[in-house]
Amino acid sequence: MNDGVQSARWVTRLSLFLLLAPAVLWLSALILIPHLDLAVLSLRERIGPRQYSVSVAQYKTFFAEPLYWHIFVRTAIMSIVATGLTLLLAFPVAWIIAKVLSGRASSLLFVICLIPFWISETVRTLGWMILLRESGVLPHVLVLLGLTQQPIEMLYHDATILVGLVYTSLLFMVVPLVGSFESLDNSLIEAASDLGASSRAILTKIIIPHAAPGMTAGCIVVFMLTLGNYLTPTLLGGKNSQWFTEQIYTQFITRFNWEQGAALGFLLLALSTLLVWAGLKLSGQRFSDVMRRA
């Protein structure tokens, strides 16, 4: 009898272990181990051939070099702007999907938001380049319409980078917003209107407070994706993009300075964590509530 109970317990433990194993492996192999290694890398300095010592020199370089600082702040600001623009654009789209349209029309609009993601990010971004480059489609059309004398270069501007980032992020904002709006009882809107609320008051007092966790979740996801994006800013911004991930890439691949690259990577992680934390504090949201909506 006792043996039976013991072995049953053992089987339960084993199955639990097997169930958790992929998640544990995934977390440790792809996140924990590389980050530990990067942490060790970032905290050492090369003092001779194959000779290293523990030091914070890599971090010191970051604070001493204005270029790094400039790019760091610029990346953060551009990411915040891109997140804000994505929110502004996704809000009406999600509202139309969730509340205005129904059935087929609503699904169709949702699929239209999804379709760009069937294509790889590289191809999508190259598509933008085909449209916007000096010899591309849009400058040509502008000349044909007589709006410009000669083709203008539409690539390599901050605005171009923002367009690309917003386009890439839209779906990740629309999904949590649709979820938030769908859970909003229509009678709350009617009740507010009945009590004398204008459309503006309904938006600010009922819809936004209700959708706040979903909005925050969308903003966090979009912000993280944007901050860590490499392809879109590099291809659409060219030399002017000055994106922080580009600096990390340069250190690792071009300069072969893994120590500096690892330190910059950690600084980026710290930056995104800090900004997300600040965003949660400012909007008065709790991380656990927000993640349930994401």
> Which range of residues in 44-52, 76-84, 113-121, 183-191 is near another protein by CB under 8 A?
183-191
> Which range of residues in 111-119, 195-203, 215-223, 226-234 is near another protein by CB under 8 A?
195-203
Q: Does 1 bind another protein (CB under 8 A)?
A: no
> Which range of residues in 101-109, 135-143, 194-202, 272-280 is near another protein by CB under 8 A?
194-202
DSSP H or E segment with residue 39 = helix 33-42
> By three-state DSSP, how is residue 279 classified?
helix
Q: Does 23 bind another protein (CB under 8 A)?
A: no
Of the candidate residues 113, 132, 171, 206, the single one contacting another protein (CB under 8 A): 206
Closest CA to 179 of 205, 218, 221: 218
> By three-state DSSP, how is residue 199 classified?
helix
Q: How many angstroms separate the CA atoms of 208 and 284, rounded?
A: 13
Q: Does 53 bind another protein (CB under 8 A)?
A: no
Evaluate whether 294 touches 180 at the Cβ level (below 8 Å): no
Of the candidate residues 187, 256, 281, 284, the single one contacting another protein (CB under 8 A): 187
Q: How many angstroms separate the CA atoms of 193 and 206, rounded?
A: 10
Instruction: Give φ, ψ of 161 to 5 degrees.
Output: -60, -45
Spatial neighbors of 289 by CB under 8 A, at least 6 apart, are: 213
Evaluate whether 87 touches 227 at the Cβ level (below 8 Å): no
> Which range of residues in 74-82, 132-140, 166-174, 187-195 is near another protein by CB under 8 A?
187-195
Q: Which is nearer to another protein, 93 or 206 (CB)?
A: 206
Q: Does 191 bind another protein (CB under 8 A)?
A: yes
Q: Does 46 bind another protein (CB under 8 A)?
A: no
Q: Does 73 bind another protein (CB under 8 A)?
A: no
Which residues bind to another protein, rule: CB under 8 A?
185, 187-188, 190-198, 201, 205-206, 209-210
